[in-house]
Amino acid sequence: MLIDEEFINSKIIDEYKLLLKSRLNEKRYYHSLCVADEARRLAALYGADENKAYLAGLLHDITKNATVAEHLQIFGAFDIILTDVEKSGEKLWHAISGAAYVKHYLDIDDEEIVSAIRYHTTARADMTKLQAVLYLADFTSADRDYDDVDVMRRLVDKSEDEALMYALKYTINELIEKGAAIHPDTVSAYNFIVLKGLKNEG
């Protein structure tokens, strides 16, 4: 599937928005629109594909409001086996089921887009530009209003790596405070950025 400017401005995008409206609550739908816009902006800043970033941002939460039964149905249909950490955190499920949904139900076979959706919640070590763009856009979209959002918005305009470091530390600290398990991919992403920084300093 060719994701170009013509595709982004096509009726398919309007159809995706209608689908999102039917699947998401009003707040989550607005968030999806905001993340799409922010992802396109960050893609231009970081050198990622702006059209792919917009589409990934638009669809990243497509299963966010899905029921437990629908998540389990998707996992079963595509032989997705959750780890113990993933089983313990339902907030992680939508990234996993969402990636499967856009690939198998929407026939979006672009692995860059699918993997960006897959890792937009946990991050991972050595992320692609598009994965990093979506992860950070989800933190800094116009609708976000958490305590450190202004810091994050300054950092994304300054440095991709500094923004990733701050976002990962924020996430890990929040999970620790809640007494929740930390996904190994998040730990790996944090370690990768730390070691990259030490290497650059050397």
Query: Can you give the CATH number for the domain in which 24 is found?
Result: 1.10.3210.10
Q: Can you tell me the mean pLDDT for 68-74?
A: 98
Radius of gyration, CA atoms only, the chain:
16
The rounded distance, in Å, linking the Cα atoms of 127 and 150 is 24
DSSP state of 187: H
Q: Which two tokens stand for residue 186?
A: 């998040």
pLDDT-derived band at 200 (thresholds 50, 70, 90) equals: confident
* DSSP line for 125-172: TT--HHHHHHHHHHHH-TT---TTHHHHHHHHHH-HHHHHHHHHHHHH
Looking at every residue in the chain, the average pLDDT score rounds to 96
pLDDT at 38: 98
80: left (phi over 0), alpha (psi -120 to 50) or beta: beta
Instruction: Say what the pLDDT of residue 8 is.
Output: 85
Q: State pLDDT tens for residues 26-59.
A: 999 999 999 999 999 999 999 999 999 999 999 9
Residues 100-142 have pLDDT tens digits of 999 999 999 999 999 999 999 999 999 999 999 999 999 999 9
Instruction: Determine the pLDDT at residue 202.
Output: 59
Range of the domain at 49: 5-201
Check whether 69 has a pLDDT greater than 70.
yes
pLDDT tops 80 at residue 199: no
Q: Is the pTM of this model over 0.85?
A: yes
In degrees to the nearest 10, what's the CA dihedral of 61, 65, 70, 71?
50
Q: What is the pLDDT of residues 177-190, one digit of tens each?
A: 999 999 999 999 99
Say how far apart CA 54 and CA 34 lie, in whole Å. 10
Instruction: Tally the domains of the chain.
Output: 1
**Type of residue at 191:** N
What average pLDDT does range 162-187 have in this prediction? 97
Structure tokens at 140: 């800094």
